[in-house]
Amino acid sequence: MPSTIKTAWLSLCLLLPLFSQAADVGGAGSSAAHPLYTKWAELYRQKNGISVEYQPVGSSAGIRQIKAKAVDFGASDVALGREELAKENLLCFPTAISGVVPVINLPGVKAGELLLSGEVLADIYAGKITKWSDAAIAALNPGIALPKLSIVIVARQDGSGTTYNLSDYLSKVSAAWKSGFGTGFTVKWPAGALQVKGSSGMVAAVRQTTGAIGYVDYNYVVQDKLVYPKLRNSHGRYVEPSPTAFASALANSGWKSKAAFEEALTDKPGPSSWPITMGTFVIVPRKTSNPKATIATLRFFTWAFLKGDDTVNGIDFVRLPDAVQARIYGEFTRITDQDGKPLGWSFM
């Protein structure tokens, strides 16, 4: 974050009265965001001696837990809508940008060699294309000797924001997918799909299953050295997943121009944009019954925004635009206790 914005926000925090006692923080939700939040938590504990525990139980479970007040923050790879936030008295804000990446286990094929279009990808996940040697795949890959292997679909069984963003993209590029499967945290997958829980379960299943295709957050692709195809984006170009490609999708969205982080980042224009880019989000009470825990949570994420830019970029996420961070800071100051009184707290 530019030093001017950091200085301004830090000055605002220092003007607020210091909350007298630190508190540990507990969160749950997105497994895609797990590497980011655990790294931030590790650094935060080293600097401040405060423990932040995070459980990667999936976006749907994270949303349920924050609604039930079972955690201090929930985490999801999908922003909650305004009506739901108003009904539940919650605040939802993004923390970083990443992307959903199809991953494959195809003998003889290296990362980035296979080319897939959105329409072909939708037909694979819908169970319409069942062999890697299918004519539709072969037409996109004349230079690859495709094996006559059955395609094994590996999919998330648990309610997943990664699934939501993948299915949102497929609904945009395939009318047949939209009418037959739609967009959701869970999908009624074709018969024979291998269903797993969590991003780690997805990685293990794809690695162990010859002919498999799955999907996972980009950080896991890098960490576990997974094989992925290039995807054809809305500009008609085949692109590889990368922070640069996610940043391109971000730059061609309302996030950059309007700080409109409710907008999905899938299928955005731009010659280098990754077509399944996504934000990852945190959900906290807007009117809290536990000010101590909420203040501790806000301190943690304020620290992460002020001090954590290098961490975000270093583990293959993309930092938020300045305008989005500024909007989030403003929303933090409007969180109240049950009586509607603003929380008095300091970053320090």
pLDDT at residue 348, rounded to an integer: 57
Q: Which residues pair with residue 150 across a beta bridge?
A: 131
How many angstroms separate the CA atoms of 85 and 79, rounded?
Answer: 10
* Pairing label, strands 287-288, 336-337: parallel
pLDDT at residue 258, rounded to an integer: 86
How many angstroms separate the CA atoms of 128 and 229, rounded?
Answer: 19
Q: Two tokens at 148?
A: 């006559």
Contact between residue 132 and residue 115 where contact means Cβ atoms under 8 Å apart: no
Superfamily of domain 3-96+278-337: Periplasmic binding protein-like II (3.40.190.10)
pLDDT at residue 248, rounded to an integer: 96
- Name the pLDDT band for 20 (thresholds 50, 70, 90): very low
Q: Two tokens at 288?
A: 């809290």
How many angstroms separate the CA atoms of 159 and 185, rounded?
Answer: 5
Query: For residues 143 and 106, which has the higher predicted lDDT (pLDDT)?
Result: 106
The H or E element spanning position 66 is helix 59-67
Contact between residue 190 and residue 153 where contact means Cβ atoms under 8 Å apart: yes
Domain spans, the chain: 3-96+278-337, 100-277
- Name the pLDDT band for 12 (thresholds 50, 70, 90): very low
Query: 100-277: same fold as 3-96+278-337?
Result: yes
- In 146-221 the beta strands, taken as DSSP E runs, fall at 152-156, 194-196, 212-217
Over residues 141-166, mean pLDDT: 95
- Name the pLDDT band for 312 (thresholds 50, 70, 90): confident
Over residues 188-204, mean pLDDT: 95
Contact between residue 51 and residue 27 where contact means Cβ atoms under 8 Å apart: no
Least confident segment among 224-228, 275-279, 344-348: 344-348
Q: Decide if pLDDT at 35 tops 70.
A: yes
3-state secondary structure of 277: strand
pTM value is 0.88
Across the chain, what does the average pLDDT equal? 91
pLDDT at residue 310, rounded to an integer: 78
Determine the length of the chain.
Answer: 348
Name residue 156's amino acid: R
Domain spanning 100-277 has what CATH number? 3.40.190.10
How many angstroms separate the CA atoms of 98 and 79, rounded?
Answer: 14
Give the pLDDT confidence of 38-81 residue by residue, as tens digits: 999 999 999 989 999 999 999 999 999 999 999 999 999 999 99
Q: In this structure, what is the dihedral angle of CA atoms 342, 343, 347, 348, given to the nearest 10 degrees?
A: 130
pLDDT at residue 11, rounded to an integer: 44
pLDDT at residue 344, rounded to an integer: 82
Q: Decide if pLDDT at 93 tops 50.
A: yes
Residue 37 — left, alpha, or beta (φ > 0 → left; ψ -120 to 50 → alpha)?
A: alpha
Q: Decide if pLDDT at 17 tops 60.
A: no
Over residues 96-114, mean pLDDT: 96
pLDDT at residue 226, rounded to an integer: 98
Which residues are CB-neighbours of 130 under 8 A, at least 6 positions away?
150, 151
Over residues 15-38, mean pLDDT: 73
**Cα 64 from chain centroid?**
17
Q: Which residues pair with residue 281 across a beta bridge?
A: 76, 94
Give the pLDDT confidence of 199-220 residue by residue, as tens digits: 999 999 999 999 999 999 999 9
Over residues 233-258, mean pLDDT: 94
- Name the pLDDT band for 89 (thresholds 50, 70, 90): very high
pLDDT at residue 256, rounded to an integer: 84
pLDDT at residue 7, rounded to an integer: 47
Q: In this structure, what is the dihedral angle of CA atoms 54, 263, 216, 106, given to the nearest 10 degrees?
A: 180
Q: In this structure, what is the dihedral angle of CA atoms 128, 201, 188, 37, given to the nearest 10 degrees?
A: -120
How many angstroms separate the CA atoms of 104 and 241, rounded?
Answer: 14
pLDDT at residue 94, rounded to an integer: 96
Query: For residues 309 and 32, which has the higher predicted lDDT (pLDDT)?
Result: 32
